[in-house]
Structure 1
Amino acid sequence: MEINQRKDISVVVPLLNEEESLPELCAWIDSVMQAHELRYEILLIDDGSRDRSWEVIIDIAKMNPNVEGIRFNRNYGKSAALNTGFEHVKGEVVITMDADLQDSPDEIPELYRMIKKEGYDMVSGWKKKRHDPLSKTIPSLFFNYVTRKISGIRLHDFNCGLKAYDIHVVKNLELYGEMHRYIPMLAQRHGFDKIGEKVVEHRARKYGNSKFGLERFIYGFLDLLSISFVSKFKKRPMHFFGTMGTLSFFFGIIVTIGLIADKLYKLNTHLPVREVTDQPLFYLALVAVIVGVQLFMAGFVAEMLTMNSEKKNDYIISEKVSFPRNKVF
């Protein structure tokens, strides 16, 4: 009979070129789990590293059967890494954290307790005191403010990599692009609205350099608009396109009727008359009618696509490694 595979905690760690920090991170996580007698697994998702990260993962997995490595054939991004990790987790509570040692594994037991004992669907870390330059902290404050206002979720730090989830949350998420920044919004959209926050330690970077530049805020803002739109209209695109199309169509019709009525009135009262087709407003109305019809048809097409689509990811895993425990007979 094989040893029970159920885990208390799954730790998902997306990484890119973090060969120096991985041994220390995994040893730290193992120490915390052993001290609190928690059954755990660590999933190290190598997002196309060009250094020796994969070789280091193999060495760690050989020494610790609780460690599993998954390697992409190229760099797909953090969302893809997290999404793949979520597909493989077996723990009742899932913890995500960065591989650069700026997130402290000492926070894991309390995050686990908040999910299991306090009943949160998700708990997001808040790096209240940050060890980052102003070029990152100021844009981050603005980004979090805008996200908080748009989403209505009262979190201070949407972008913190250290988060905890009930297993049912991650199994119902699908991440792509820069969507990892908006997991709280995605979770809420799926009905997991008990979202908490915990102040967590943010440590100064010990190895390597940050993998993110200022362009992430531009991409993040675009994804925020995308998520906001999709959250409201994914299952009912006709509500958006149909409404806009109807307003545009009737605007054009009303303007056209007004121009014709004005002409008839002037003819009847023997006033100077200008041809309807000589007026720029007529062509604006004509465009509005055409656009209205197109938007309405776009709504119909979107409805049909929504009913028949099966969303699939195309992340390619080139290698996978794990060293399971010995079987007991």
Structure 2
Amino acid sequence: MTQAIHLSAIVPVTEGRYDNVAEVFVEYRDALAATGSSFEMIYVLDGELPVVREALRGLKGAGAPLTIVQMAKPYGEALAIMVGFEHARGEVILTLPAFRQVEPRALGGLIAALVDTDLVVARRWPRTDPAYNRVQARVFNWLLGWVSDVEVRDAGCNVRVFKRRVLEEVHLYGNQHRFLALLAHQRGFKIKEVDTPQAQADTFRRVYSPGTYLGYLLDFLTVFFLVKFTKRPLRFFGIVGSGVFGLGFLITLYLIAERLLGGVALANRPALILSSLLIILGIQVLAIGLIGEIIIFTHAREIKEYTIAEIVN
């Protein structure tokens, strides 16, 4: 009879960064074995990655408790996590990076902390990586704190442990894995952050291209909209549309006042064209918000925006 799996560890591997595959696997495996719980490890390869694939196949051939999922092409780390979740059998899900971020010996404490919460996020502390990394992290964490009232001081850490029902309720895509705690909190799940020793090998200075930072900004704006205005689109588009419309209206009033009181002709005034365009644009943005509200109202029965913690009958 097959032993029931308690914990599924998902390790997404992307082209961007990974350490020695065999060494990291052994460290993770030994740390999970020390917890005494039954577990499985699922590696999701986001793209070809032939070196990683061959190393994992060698471990699998040696009898390692390992499942290898090969993606046809790169789809992003968030989707790789969702694919790993589809193949996971455990009631507890652990996401781990393919590189060293925290000391593996601390994984048992993270798993134990899940008893009274739904999602545990590791916070690397004390931080020993370069100051440039810490500045980036502080800016990112400050932005997240501005969007939501959930307090996560190390959202860039990829080590998280959570109950299965979290990913059953929260669907990730693109690069939204960084915002898992925020999205889970929005659905009503309890979040806890646990200080975890940073891996001594996590000293890589992370400098990205301008395009990468722009992508992070767009991801943040996407999550900002999802958290604040998904169920209330008119509030977002109404604020933007009203501001644009109001600006155009004020410019128009000013031009009319100049014409009536100062005798200034309107025929060759570019500002008149600008104000007219702003008024039209504001009305269009407001209309988009109204259409969004109609769509939400029409499909309200299909949209689940809550999570039930417990039913006592």
Q: Deviations over 1:91-133 (max 9, x none)?
A: 12111111223333322222122112xx212111111133433
Letter of the structure 2 residue corresponding to residue 150 of structure 1: V
Q: What is aligned with 2:95?
A: 96
Q: How does 1:119-134 map to 2 (within 5 A)?
A: 119-134=116-131
Contact 1:251 1:288 in 2 (8 A): yes
Identity %: 25
Q: Which has the higher contact order (CA 8 A, sep 6+)?
A: 1
Letter of the structure 1 residue corresponding to residue 46 of structure 2: D
Partner-residue secondary structure (3-state), 1:52: helix
Q: What is aligned with 1:72?
A: 71
Letter of the structure 1 residue corresponding to residue 112 of structure 2: R
Q: What is aligned with 2:171?
A: 174
Contact 2:8 2:92 in 1 (8 A): yes
Equivalent of 1:164 in 156, 161, 166: 161
Q: Deviations over 1:252-307 (max 9, x none)?
A: 4566567657866x5xxxxx634455655543432222112221233345456766
With the length of structure 1 as denominator, give the TM-score of the two structures. Answer: 0.76
Report the structure number with the largest CA radius of gyration: 1
Structure 2: runs of 5+ lacking an equivalent:
303-313
With the length of structure 2 as denominator, give the TM-score of the two structures. Answer: 0.79
Query: For residues 31 and 98 of structure 2, what CA distance do their matches in structure 1 show?
Result: 16
Q: Residues 279, 49 of structure 1: CA spacing in aligned structure 2 closer, same or farther, 3 A cutoff?
A: closer
Partner-residue secondary structure (3-state), 2:100: coil
Contact 2:12 2:97 in 1 (8 A): yes
Q: What is aligned with 2:238?
A: 242
RMSD: 3.3
Equivalent of 1:12 in 4, 10, 13: 10
Q: Residues 275, 14 of structure 1: CA spacing in aligned structure 2 closer, same or farther, 3 A cutoff?
A: same
Q: How does 1:177-192 map to 2 (within 5 A)?
A: 177-192=174-189
Equivalent of 2:228 in 225, 232, 245: 232
Q: Residues 101, 247 of structure 1: CA spacing in aligned structure 2 closer, same or farther, 3 A cutoff?
A: closer
Q: What is aligned with 1:195?
A: 191
Contact 1:19 1:56 in 2 (8 A): no
Equivalent of 1:139 in 128, 136, 149: 136
Contact 1:11 1:41 in 2 (8 A): yes
Q: What is aligned with 2:278?
A: 288
Letter of the structure 2 residue corresponding to residue 114 of structure 1: A
Query: For residues 144 and 47 of structure 1, what CA distance do their matches in structure 2 show?
Result: 26
Q: Which consecutive segments of 4 or more residues in structure 1 shift more than 4 A?
A: 17-20, 209-212, 250-264, 275-281, 300-308
